[in-house]
Structures are given as C-alpha cells and as structure tokens.
C-alpha cells in the first residue's frame, strides 16, 4: 500500500467515533430519554400503551422526521442520526424506540425514496408535524414469505378498492397514514404487488384487535381490516406492480433500525448489570470483585461493542450511498442475538431480583426477543447473507 493510501486510511474515523454534531444529537436524545421516557416506562408497560404526551414530544423534538427534508418540515438530517436516536431510546424503552424507528426507517423513508412530488408534498409534512405512520405488509399467511399476501386491489376506474386483512402492524393504533401492500393481480406473483398510501379515515378501513405480546408491550401491534376500502388513484407509491421493490429496499434499511434497537436494549441491560454488581455485596465484597463476574461483564462488553460496530457500519454505508444489504442483514442477526444474550446474563447476575418486575432486566430480555423475528427473521437474514457471500458479493 502506498503512502497516500496509508494516509487516507489513517484519516478514516473509527466506526463508533461520532462527529461533534452527532455527539450533540446523541446527548440531546439521551437527555430526553432519561428525563421524559424513563419516568413513564413502568406506566406504559402496565397499561400496554404509549403515553400520549410522550408521542407529542417526539414530534415536537423532530424525532419523527429525522431524515425528512427541511422543505417538508423535517430535520433534514442523516440516516445515521436516526439510528442514534433509535439506539438511545431503546436503552431506556424499546417500545418508544420502535415507535420512532418505524416512522423514520420505514414510513418516511419510503415516501422520500419512492413518493411522487405530490405525495411527498401532501404526506411528509403531516408525518413531520403530528401524524403517525405505519408499514403494513404482513398477513396471516404472509410473514417470511412476504409476497404470498392475499390483500387484493381492484381498479375501479376513479379509485382502487382494497380488500383483505393485515396482521402484526406496528403503530397500528396510533397511525393515521399507512404504507400498505396489496396485489393487483394474484396470477402475476410478486409482479402484481403494489404499495398504496391508505389513510385511517378512508371508507372501508378499520383497525382490528391489538395483540397481547411478550415484549415491547407499550408498542401497539394490531390487525388492519380492509373491506372494499376506497383509495384514490394517485395514492399509489412508486408504480403499479413495483410494490415488491418498494418493500424489499425499504425493509433493507429498516433492518439497520432494528439492529440499533437491539444495541440499545443490550446497552440498557449491560448498564443495569454493571450498576447492580457494583452495589450488591456477597461474602464481604461487591459482586464485581469476583473474577467470575468480571469475566462475564467483559464478555458482555465485547459482544455489545461488536454489535454496535456492525450496526454503525451498515448505517454509514447507507448514508454513503454504498451497498449495505449484506451488512444490514449481519447487523440485525448479530445484534438481536447479543441483546438476548446480554439481557439474559443480566438477569442471572441480578439473581432472584432479576426475575421480578421490580427490577428492569427482565423487561430488557422480553423486549429483546422480537429482534430475531420482525422485519425479517434471523433465518431469512442468514439466507440473504449466504446468497451474497456464495455469489462473491
């Protein structure tokens, strides 16, 4: 390697090294999470819903439109900053984290990339100012096989008529604007899938039951019912028959957000374990004075840093306009494993206290489990990674 190349390598910042602007942004999110989110976590967990005042604060602080251009009322910031926000919020509460995550990495991202000028002008300001968005792809028989969906869209001349049911829709109760996928031609397979913008008030649209979940309990996960739902012709996102491309490429970015959520959960559990083992005494000394405990904390720290590096790398590649598909899949698989592993170990370090709801670590573990499931299961991510590495990419 020549001297010029070496100099260029030396100037490349570490993946976890933040710019001054990024550091300030992270600090502001941490202050909000500690001061406003933490006091509400217990109530939201028990009530299984988000605090309405907290939702309003997320909009007021610009957290619901981080990448949205300023001309549409957003912050005009980077994808990486969205990832920082998701991570910092998950450190305190994964439910508010995924609420912000879906709005940014899936919904507004889909509008920014695929929306016509008219759709952007109509919906992005609403999503920035106060309306929650949701991403509706999954169905009862369409999970990992996302393109097996049955929701049908029929061209009625002046409008589209959608009929079907969606399941496991995050933000379903709070959302007013939905990026929703249906097929215009079942015989065409994935080439019939189309993305539609559906508003909560459209005729024939309703929100069904809310799921009673293991974790992220304050985050609403609902079914959506479309009974001859009338959607304006101009509310097609991208083009008719291009919904498969919209869904795949948007979810590729969304998986980095889930990775950030898992890193935040792991960080919260790790910090709780550090604090508890320093304070808890057994046999005349603190728990962290025992080498066996020290080694466990060290292993947790290693895994956490590795997961963060994978997530940050994928986010940096995305912002740089470079290929990130493999890196996003790797980040999601590994970070979900790390979140579950660290939160489980934290429960063990807390002993009996870790198994009761008076202490935070059991919630971190319950919240971590979804990371291996939504926005593409770990097996689907492994399949993606395997295809890419065996094809030399």
Q: What is the CATH number of the domain that holds 372?
A: 1.20.140.10
Q: Is residue 261 in some structural domain?
A: yes
Are both 197 and 282 inside the same structural domain?
Answer: no
Domain count, the chain: 3
* Separation CA 32–CA 182 (nearest Å): 38
Residue owning tokens 């870790």:
354
pLDDT of residue 14: 59
Same domain assignment for residues 224 and 263: no
Same domain, 77 and 118: yes
- Name which of 195, 291, 274, 292 is nearest 235 in CA terms: 195
- The dihedral over CA atoms of 296, 302, 308, 309, expressed in degrees to the nearest 10, equals -170
Flag whether 285 is in a domain: yes
Residue count (the chain): 393
Same domain, yes or no: 139 and 27: no
Q: Is 259 a domain residue?
A: yes
370: containing domain: 245-390
pLDDT at position 293: 97
Domain boundary among 187, 212, 241: 241
157 and 112 in a common domain = no
Among candidate residues 241, 259, 281, the one where a domain is terminated: 241
Residue 145's domain is classified under what CATH number?
Answer: 2.40.110.10
Residue 5 lies in a domain: no
Q: Tell me, yes or no, if 375 is annotated catalytic.
A: yes
Rounded Cα–Cα distance for residues 393 and 383 (Å)? 14
Do 53 and 35 touch, CB atoms closer than 8 A? no
Residue 174 CA: distances (Å) to CA of 31, 82, 357: 25, 20, 27
pLDDT in tens, the chain (393 residues): 454 444 444 444 456 789 999 999 999 999 999 999 999 999 999 999 999 999 999 999 999 999 999 999 999 999 999 999 999 999 999 999 999 999 999 999 999 999 999 999 999 999 999 999 999 999 999 888 877 899 999 999 999 999 999 999 999 999 999 999 999 999 999 999 999 999 999 999 999 999 999 999 999 999 999 999 999 999 999 999 999 999 999 999 999 999 999 999 999 999 999 999 999 999 999 999 999 999 999 999 999 999 999 999 999 999 999 999 999 999 999 999 999 999 999 999 999 999 999 999 999 999 999 999 999 999 999 999 999 999 987
- With a CB cutoff of 8 Å and minimum separation 6, the contacts of 26 are 18, 84, 88
- From 241, 274, 299, the end of a domain falls on 241
Please tell me whether residues 165 and 255 are part of one structural domain: no
Spatial separation of the C-alpha atoms in residues 335 and 332, rounded to whole Å: 5
Q: Quick one: 77 and 107 in the same domain? A: yes
Is residue 318 located within the same domain as residue 371? yes
On whether both 77 and 191 belong to a single domain, the answer is: no
Residues 173 and 127 in one domain: no
CATH at 61 = 1.10.540.10
Run of H or E including 225: strand 221-232
Q: Which helix (H) or strand (E) holds 236?
A: strand 236-237
In a 3-state reduction of DSSP, which class is residue 95?
helix
Q: Which of 67, 87, 253, 375 is catalytic?
A: 375
In a domain, 9, yes or no: no
User: Which residues, at least 6 apart from 241, have a Cβ–Cβ distance to it below 8 Å?
Assistant: 184, 185, 188, 191, 192, 193, 194
pLDDT for position 143: 82
Token couple for 385 = 């990674």
> Would 181 be classed as within a structural domain?
yes
pLDDT at 146: 77
In a domain, 3, yes or no: no
Is the residue at 47 inside a domain? Answer: yes
Same domain, residue pair 224 and 252: no
Q: Tell me, what's the pLDDT at 176?
A: 98
Cα 9–Cα 12–Cα 15 angle in degrees, nearest 5? 125
Contact 109, 250 (CB under 8 A): yes
Closest CA to 103 of 70, 143, 59: 59
Do residues 283 and 202 both lie within one domain? Answer: no
Instruction: Give the position of tokens 């598909």.
Output: 325
> How many Å apart are CA 50 and CA 29, to the nearest integer?
18
């Amino acid at each position: 390697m020549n001297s010029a190349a070496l100099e260029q390598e030396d100037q490349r910042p570490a993946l976890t090294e933040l710019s001054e602007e990024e550091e300030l942004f992270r600090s502001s999110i941490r202050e909000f999470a500690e001061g406003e989110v933490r006091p509400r976590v217990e109530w939201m967990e028990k009530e299984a819903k988000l605090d309405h005042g907290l939702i309003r604060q997320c909009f007021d602080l610009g957290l619901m439109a981080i990448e949205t251009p300023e001309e549409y009322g957003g912050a005009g910031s980077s994808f990486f900053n969205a990832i920082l926000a998701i991570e910092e919020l998950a450190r305190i509460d994964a439910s508010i984290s995924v609420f912000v995550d879906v709005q940014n990495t899936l919904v507004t991202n889909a509008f920014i990339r695929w929306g016509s000028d008219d759709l952007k002008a109509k919906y992005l300001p609403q999503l920035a100012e106060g309306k929650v968005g949701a991403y509706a792809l999954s169905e009862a028989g369409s999970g990992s096989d996302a393109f097996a969906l049955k929701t049908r869209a029929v061209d009625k001349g002046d409008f589209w008529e959608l009929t079907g049911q969606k399941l496991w829709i995050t933000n379903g109760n709070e959302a007013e604007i939905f990026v929703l996928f249906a097929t215009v031609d079942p015989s065409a397979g994935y080439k019939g899938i189309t993305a539609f913008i559906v508003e909560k008030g459209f005729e024939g649209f309703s929100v069904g039951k809310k799921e009673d979940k293991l974790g992220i309990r304050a985050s609403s996960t609902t079914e959506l019912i479309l009974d001859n739902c009338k959607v304006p012709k101009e509310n097609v996102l991208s083009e008719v028959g291009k919904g498969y491309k919209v869904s795949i490429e948007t979810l590729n970015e969304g998986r980095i957000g889930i990775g950030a959520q898992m890193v935040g959960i792991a960080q919260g559990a790790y910090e709780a374990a550090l604090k508890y083992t320093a304070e808890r005494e057994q046999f005349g000394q603190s728990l962290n004075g025992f080498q066996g405990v020290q080694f466990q904390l060290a292993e947790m720290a290693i895994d956490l840093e590795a997961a963060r590096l994978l997530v940050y790398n994928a986010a940096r590649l995305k912002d740089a306009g470079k290929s990130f598909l493999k890196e996003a899949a790797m980040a999601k698989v590994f970070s979900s494993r790390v979140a579950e592993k660290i939160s489980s170990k934290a429960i063990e370090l807390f002993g009996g206290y870790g198994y009761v709801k008076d202490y935070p670590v059991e919630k971190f573990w319950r919240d971590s489990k979804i990371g291996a499931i939504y926005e593409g299961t770990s097996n689907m991510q492994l399949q993606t990674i395997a295809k890419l590495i065996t094809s030399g990419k």
